[in-house]
Amino acid sequence: MRKVTEVDPFNGSRPIPEPPSKGRVRYAPAHTFPPYRYVPGSGQPHPINDPQGHTFTNTRPPPHAEWTPHLWPVLDAWLYGVDLYNHWYFWEAHEAWEGLWQVVDKSRPPALLVQALIQCSAAMLKVHLQSLPGVTSLWAGALGRLTHVASQHEVLMGLKPRALIKQFGKYFAPVAKGQLPVLEKGFPLLVLDM
């Protein structure tokens, strides 16, 4: 397994393994992955704001078009965000989903699901950064939103909210004991029901 060195602002450089490829289906294979996984505070160029960033442009893209949850099988930003998350591009997944979240009613289940996944992705980045307070607060917010979504939907946008609660709950269980989960162990994949 090839090792990638990412910079941890708290511990300096540390090698982390590439995510295992087993079980990681690509839902938006036409998109290539960025050349690096952005970690805030690492010294890497900010992907959007730095001219050396992997998604820098001189012009801001227009807001995402309005969407409805039944479009999820062809909703490019949704599918690409899932791919990014599953391959440990946590900051990039957050950005892919953020545009979707911005243009829908924030009180409705589709927005709550997207926001919960944004928080889970950010929590994974905090796991990498060894920030227990960050992981704790992000997971608590995501759990509340997922619980609300699960009370109204058995399946939404290809995901089963109750299964997500169980899967993420198991992964984040060490947080209740004041410990961080290990990124490489029991990582909760997002598997869409296509």
pLDDT per residue as tens digits for the range 150-181: 999 999 999 999 999 999 999 999 999 999 99
For the chain, domain boundaries:
3-177
Question: What's residue 36's pLDDT?
Answer: 82
pLDDT per residue as tens digits for the range 23-60: 678 999 999 999 888 787 767 766 666 556 566 566 66
Q: Which value, in Å, is the radius of gyration of the alpha carbons in the chain?
A: 16
Q: What Å distances lie between residue 8 and 38, 41, 161, CA to CA?
A: 11, 8, 32
Which percentage of the chain shows pLDDT scores above 70? 79
What homologous superfamily is domain 3-177 in, according to CATH? TTHA0068-like (1.10.3450.10)
Residue at token pair 């307070």: 133
What SS3 class is residue 43? coil
pLDDT exceeds 80 at position 106? yes
User: Closest by alpha carbon to 112, among 42, 63, 161, 67?
Assistant: 161
57/70: higher pLDDT: 70
